[in-house]
């Protein structure tokens, strides 16, 4: 796959951005590096003249940006979601330095859509948002002042990806078994979780009113696997067979 095609398969997702200027800066950084697909999850203010001003010639990326009501909506169709996070999170994936992860991200982009997920300027990503991602990356920084501006963080990630795509970093060999079937998309994986929750609830193993840490733990478990489409079918087949046999929980 050509470098430009690889970069076209990488989307930038900004969760709850507060400042329209940062949205514009992100769009500019993306276009400078050859990325184009921008998703905004409940931006405080968008569109906005300040976003346009900071985007300069990247206003086309703003015009095509998709505004989403939830992170799940922004991740629909993606087969790998990568959180930018300065620190490890409760039950979330362990962050790797961006440069180390670039080969894996590009290898994933050759097979499916990849999402880079950035948090709010002040609060970053929530634990729940990080838990929806399969991997996490961090930008090595001064430990006494490690919080980069949102647009600057987007710039660094897009820069590393461009250099990687244009031959700086060879795509990594897949560390696990090669995919026998295409990777499952975010929404397919979420469909499996919803199905599992239904069966677990009906079996009395799980009480949605008192969720505790059970589901974050299951997300962490299956998130490490990077499920394939066929595997989702097998897992949902097992769940459906259980429901069929017992008659409980058949609601779809």
Q: Where in 92-151 is the site for its own copies (CB under 8 A)?
A: 92-97, 99-101, 104, 135, 139-142, 145-149, 151
As measured in angstroms, the least distance from the Cβ of 6 to its own copies is 14
Task: Cite the DSSP H helix spans in 64-185.
Answer: 71-75, 98-111, 127-131, 150-165
E strands within the chain?
10-15, 37-41, 66-68, 78-84, 95-97, 113-118, 135-138
The C-alpha torsion from 167 through 170 and 171 to 173, rounded to 10°, is 170
Q: What value does the CA radius of gyration of the chain take, rounded to a whole number of Å?
A: 19
> Does 152 participate in binding its own copies (rule CB under 8 A)?
yes
Contact call for residues 75 and 193 (beta carbons, < 8 A): no
Binding to its own copies (CB under 8 A) within 198-217 occurs at: 199-200, 202-205, 214, 217
Task: Specify the stretch interacting with its own copies by CB under 8 A; choose among 40-48, 70-78, 112-120, 160-168.
Answer: 160-168
Contact call for residues 30 and 56 (beta carbons, < 8 A): no
Nearer to its own copies, 42 or 193 (CB): 193
Q: How far apart are CA 114 and CA 11, in angstroms?
A: 6
Binding to its own copies (CB under 8 A) within 161-200 occurs at: 162-163, 166, 168-170, 172-178, 180, 196, 199-200
Task: Specify the stretch interacting with its own copies by CB under 8 A; choose among 8-16, 28-36, 40-48, 70-78.
Answer: 28-36
DSSP symbol at 79? E
Nearer to its own copies, 42 or 229 (CB): 229
Task: Specify the stretch interacting with its own copies by CB under 8 A; choose among 41-49, 75-83, 106-114, 237-245.
Answer: 237-245
Binding to its own copies (CB under 8 A) within 43-82 occurs at: 54, 56-58
- Stretch 217-236: interaction string toward its own copies, x if CB under 8 A: xx-xxxxxxxx--xx--xx-
As measured in angstroms, the least distance from the Cβ of 173 to its own copies is 5
Alpha carbon separation from 151 to 81, 198, 216, 228, 251 (Å, rounded)? 19, 40, 30, 33, 44
């Amino acid at each position: 796959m050509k470098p430009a095609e690889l970069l076209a398969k990488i989307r930038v997702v900004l969760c709850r951005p507060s400042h329209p200027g940062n949205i514009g800066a992100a769009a500019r950084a993306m276009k400078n590096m050859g990325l184009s697909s921008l998703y905004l999850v409940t931006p405080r203010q968008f569109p906005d003249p300040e976003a346009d001003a900071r985007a300069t010639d990247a206003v086309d990326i703003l015009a095509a940006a998709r505004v989403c009501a939830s992170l799940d909506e922004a991740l629909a169709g993606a087969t790998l979601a990568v959180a930018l996070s300065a620190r490890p999170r409760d039950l979330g994936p362990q962050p790797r330095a961006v440069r180390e992860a670039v080969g894996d991200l590009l290898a994933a982009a050759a097979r499916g859509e990849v999402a880079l997920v950035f948090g709010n300027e002040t609060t970053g990503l929530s634990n729940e948002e990080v838990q929806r991602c399969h991997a996490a990356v961090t930008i090595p920084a001064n430990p006494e002042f490690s919080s980069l501006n949102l647009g600057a963080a987007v710039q660094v990630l897009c820069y590393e990806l461009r250099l990687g795509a244009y031959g700086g970093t060879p795509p990594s060999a897949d560390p696990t078994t090669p995919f026998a079937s295409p990777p499952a998309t975010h929404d397919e994986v979420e469909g499996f979780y919803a199905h599992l929750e239904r069966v677990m609830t009906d079996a009395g193993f799980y009480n949605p009113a008192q969720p505790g840490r059970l589901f974050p733990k299951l997300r962490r478990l299956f998130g490490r696997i990077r499920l394939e489409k066929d595997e989702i079918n097998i897992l949902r087949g097992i769940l459906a067979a259980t429901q069929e046999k017992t008659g409980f929980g058949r609601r779809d």
